Chain A
Amino acid sequence: MSRLAVPKTYKLYIGGAFPRSESGRTYEVVSASGAFLANAAKASRKDARDAVVAARAAVSGWGGATAYNRGQVLYRIAELLEGRRAQFIAEIEEAEGVTRAVASAQVDESIDRWVWYAGWADKFAQVAGNANPVAGPYFNISVPEPTGVVAIVVPQDSSLLGFVSAVAPALVAGNSVVAVASERFPLSAISLAEVLATSDVPKGVVNVLTGSPAEIAPWLASHADVNALDLVGAGDLDWISLEIEAADTLKRVLRPEQGPDAAAPALGRISAFTETKTVWHTKSLR
C-alpha cells in the first residue's frame, strides 16, 4: 500500500518571502513525459518591480559585508545544497527525464561550482585590483566594487546547473540578483530558493521569478533601478530588443550563450558585474 504524497506549492521568492504572483496567475509545469508536476507562479510586471525593490534594498548590506563574510555565506549555501542532494536529483530526473546518474552529475557540479565561486569572494579583488604607480606624490589604488542590482535570464535548458552558474558569480562581488528561472524547468530554482531562505543569505540578495521570460525580461531590461542585465539564457527571446532597452539606462549587458557550456565558470563572470573604482590620495610628510 503506497502512501499518498503531499505535493509542494511552488511560489516566487522575493525579499526573503515566498509570495504567489500578485497577478494570481500560474502555469502548468510538466515532466519530460508530459505528466503534471506543479502549477508554478507566473510572475507579472508588478512582481518583477517588487523583486527589484527588494534587491535594491539588499545591495548596501550584501555589498558592504566583508569579503570573508560573503565567502562564508556562499559556502554555507553549498553545504545546505549537499544536504538536499536527493531532493534535487529526484526533481531533475522527473523534470528533465534524465537518468539518475545524469541528474546526480548536474547536482554535484552545481554544488562544486558554488564552492568554487564562494572561494573567490575574498580573492577576487586582489586579482582584479591594482596598485597604480602614478608619476607624482600620490597613493593610487584600483579596486572592483559591485555594480548593484543584476537581472539575469538564466540558462533555459537546465534545472539547477544553469541557474547556479549564472547567479553565483553575480553574488560574489556583492551584487544582488533578480533571476528569471527557466520557463520549462522552474522547480529546482524555487527549491534552491528554499535553500537560500534557510541559509545566511540576507533577504532580497537573491530574488527568483518564475513564469515567461519573454514577458518579464523587458520590464527588467528597462527598469531604471537595475544596473546590469545578464542575457545568458535569453537566446531564444528577442534579446536584441532587450539590449536596446537596457541601453536607455546604460546597463552593463552580457549577451546570450547557448549549449552545455553556457555560463561556464570564469573569473570574467564575476568581473562583468563589477565597477573599478580608483582612489587617489596625496602623500606628504607635513
Chain B
Amino acid sequence: MSFLEYAPAPESRAILSLRDRYGLFIDGEFVDGRGTPFQTISPATEEHIATIANANEADVADAVAAARRAYDRTWSRMSGRDRGKYLFRIARLVQERSRELAVAESLDNGKPIKESRDVDVPLVAAWFFYYAGWADKLDHAGLGGDPRSLGVAAQVIPWNFPLLMLAWKIAPALAAGNTVVLKPAETTPLTALIFAEILQQAELPPGVVNIITGAGDTGAALVAHDGVDKVAFTGSTAVGRAIAKQIAGTDKRVTLELGGKAANIVFDDAPMDQAIEGIVNGIFFNQGHVCCAGSRLLVQENIHDEVVERLKLRLATLRLGDPLDKNTDIGAINSKEQLERIHELSEIGVAEGADRWSAPCEIPENGFWYAPTIFTNVQTSSRIARDEIFGPVLSVLTFRTPAEAIAKANNTPYGLSAGIWTDKGSRILAVADQLRAGVVWANTFNRFDPASPFGGYKESGYGREGGRHGLAAYLAPAATVGRGGAQFSTGRGGAQRRLETGAAAAPADLDTASERPTRSTETAAKPARRTRRTAKPAKKGAAK
C-alpha cells in the first residue's frame, strides 16, 4: 500500500433531502413547466438525481412578468436598507445550509467536495454578504448621487460553478434594486433550485428572483424577451456573440463573461515549489472547467525540463475519483458532451505533433472522466494552444525573454486572465502592465473574492463582476431617468448603451440633466421603467 492509498472518506449524502421532481421557481412558488422535463444526472455515476421542469416561451414570459411586477410594486420601492437585510439573510442561510449545498453541488456537477465545500459555497455566502452591505450605499458606487436600478435582469449562467455563478449574478443585481430571472445550466440546475428554497426561507418577496430551468433555447428566449432591461451572461464566446447580436438596437444593457485561454508565465527565478502548486491549481482546479484556467503554460526555456518533470511528479499524486470523497483532487467531467470535446481537442493536439502525457490514474467504469494531461512540444499555432479546451489539459510552451513571454501571452483573441511567477517584483509589475487580460495573478492563481472585479478584455467579453465595478453593471446614473435609460442619452429612443467598464460615472459637476428637456413632465415623474418603455426605438424590430 503506497502512501497515496487511503480508505474512502465519502461525504454523506444523508444531508440532502432532494425532491424527485423540481418545478420552475416563479413568483415565489414552484410551478410546472410547459416544456418537456429533463433529467439531471450525476456525472460521476450517470445516475439519475431528479427530474427538472423545462421552461418554454410562455414560462419565460411568466417569469419576466413576475419579475416586472415585483420590480414595480415592491423591490424598486423598498429602501436600500431593507434590500440589504434580505441579502444578509440569504448570506446567513447559505452559511447555515452550506454542507447540504456543497454535497448537492458535487453530486450534480462532479467537482470534488473539497472544492465545493471550501471554495464554491463559502464564496457564495461571501458574495451575498459583500453586496448586502452595498444596497444602502449606492451613492458611493461611483455613478454620482442616487443612481437607479435598471429593471429586470435576465441572467444565464454556466455549469462549471453553478451556485457561485448564481451568486455572482443575483447578489449585485438585487443590491442595486433590480429583479431577476435566472436560468441555470441544463446539466447543473440542482443547487439553484435548493437556493430557491433558501429564498423562501428568507421570505424574499415573490417575483424578486425567479429561477427557470431549461436548455439553450430557454436562455435564448429569456435574453430576447422584450421585458428584459439587462442581460448578464457567463458562458462561451460563441453564445456571447449571439447575445451581442440579439440585443443590438435595443436598449438592453449587457455584461458578457466569456471564454479564455490564459497564459501562466513562469520565469526562471520563480519560487519553484509555489509555482508548481500554482500551475496545478491553475489548470486542474475544477477539472479545468474554468474560464480563467491557466491553460497555456509559458515556461522560460532554461527551466522547461525541470518544471515539466516536477509537474509530472506532482500530477501523479493527484487522486481522481468520487467527487464526494474528501480525498479527491480531480472529480468528474461535467457531461458526456464536454468529455467528447476534450477528447477531440486532445487528439488534435497529438495529430498536430505535440507530445501528450497523462497522469497514471485509474478511470472509474461509469461516469465521465479525463486524467490530468500535459502537452509538451506545443506550437503556438496548434489548436490546443489557441482553443479553449475547458478540461484538465495543459499546453506547455517556452519563451526566452520577458518580451517574448508577453507577446506569446497576448497572442490570443481572448483576454480574461493571466499568471506571472517570478521573485522579481519590478518584473511582475512591468509584465502585468503589458498583459491584455482582465485579471492577473502574480505568484498565485485562481483566486476569487467578492471585492475583486473579474472580467475580460477582447473576446473574453465586457463588463466586470465583483467589487464596486460589478455593482455599477446593474446601475445607471440618476441623470438618465426619463431620458431613455442610458448614460449619454439625448434622443433616438434612448438607445445608447453605457458599457460597464468601470466606475463609469457622469460626474455630478458635469451633469447637464437639469438643462436638458425631459420628455414631458408626465414621463419624468413616473418610475424609470415606464419612461423607458415609451422610449423604445421604433427600429427595435429590425434587429431581430
A: which residues have CB within 8 A of B? 127-130, 132-136, 138, 140, 142, 144, 147, 227, 232, 235, 239-240, 243-244, 246-250, 252-259, 261-269, 271-282
Q: How many A-B residue pairs have CB under 8 A?
A: 192
CA distance A240 to B436 in the complex (A): 28
Would you call B491 and A258 a contact (CB within 8 A)? Answer: yes
Complex interface: chain B residues within 8 A of A277 (CB): 432, 435, 437-440, 457
Instruction: Give 16 pairs: A residue, B residue, CB < 8 Å, sorted on A.
Output: A130-B469, A134-B447, A142-B467, A144-B501, A147-B501, A247-B248, A253-B497, A255-B495, A257-B488, A264-B510, A272-B501, A277-B457, A278-B453, A279-B440, A280-B452, A281-B428
The answer to whether A274 touches B542 (Cβ under 8 A) is no
Question: Are the CB atoms of B516 and A261 closer together than 8 Å?
Answer: yes
A255:B496 contact, CB within 8 angstroms: yes
Contact among B447, B449, B496, B510 with A267 in the assembled complex (CB-CB below 8 Å):
B510
Task: Report how many residues on chain B are interfacial, defined by Cβ distance under 8 Å.
Answer: 67
Q: CA separation between A147 and B496, bound complex, in Å?
A: 19
Contact in complex: A268, B249 (CB < 8 Å): no
* A-contact bits for B376-399, CB 8 A (1 contact / 0 none): 000000000000000000000000
Are A254 and B496 CB-contacts (below 8 A) given A267-B510, A282-B444?
yes
Given known contacts A243-B249, A274-B502, A276-B501, is B241 in contact with A132 (CB within 8 Å)?
A: no
Residues of chain B with a CB closer than 8 A to A262's CB: 488, 490
Residues on B with beta carbons closer than 8 Å to the beta carbon of A244: 245, 248-249, 543
Instruction: Apart from A132-B452, A244-B543, A278-B440, list 9 A-B contacts with CB within 8 A.
Output: A130-B503, A144-B501, A253-B497, A255-B496, A256-B492, A264-B510, A267-B504, A275-B436, A277-B438
- Is the beta-carbon distance between B543 and A267 smaller than 8 angstroms? no
* B258 on the A face (CB < 8 A): yes
Measured in the bound complex, the distance between the Cα atoms of B515 and A265 in whole Å is: 14
Q: Please name all residues of chain A whose beta carbon is closer than 8 Å to the beta carbon of B457 when the two chains form the complex.
A: 147, 275, 277
Q: Is the interface of B mostly helix, strand, loop or mixed?
A: loop
Name the contact of A266 in the complex, choosing from B449, B462, B487, B501 (C-beta under 8 A): B487
Question: B502 is contacted by which of A250, A255, A276 (Cβ under 8 Å)?
Answer: A276
Which residue of the partner chain A has the closest CB to B542? A240
Is B512 within 8 A of A264, CB to CB? Answer: yes
A257–B438 CB distance below 8 A: no
Residues of B within 8 A of A128 (CB): 142, 502-504
Q: Spell out B's residues near A (CB within 8 Å).
A: 126, 142, 237, 240-241, 244-245, 248-249, 256, 258, 413, 415, 428, 432, 435-444, 447, 449, 451-455, 457-459, 461-462, 464, 467-469, 477, 486-492, 495-499, 501-507, 510, 512, 516, 539, 542-543
Determine how close the nearest CB of chain B comes to the CB of A259; give it in whole angstroms. Answer: 5
Smallest CB separation, A143 vs chain B (Å): 9
> Which residue of chain B has the shortest Cβ distance to A60 in the bound complex?
B434
Partner of B490 from A227, A249, A258, A281 at Cβ < 8 Å: A258
Return the chain B residue nearest A250 by Cβ.
Answer: B459
List the B side residues contacting A144 at CB < 8 Å.
501-502
Across-interface contacts of B462 in A (CB, < 8 A): 250, 252
A274 to B436, CA, bound (A): 12
Q: Are the CB atoms of A272 and B498 closer together than 8 Å?
A: yes
- Write out the residue numbers on chain A whose beta carbons fall within 8 Å of the beta carbon of B461: 250
Chain A: minimal CB distance from B212 (Å):
25
Contact between A249 and B452 (Cβ–Cβ < 8 Å)?
A: no
A278 to B258: give the CA distance in the assembly, Å. 17
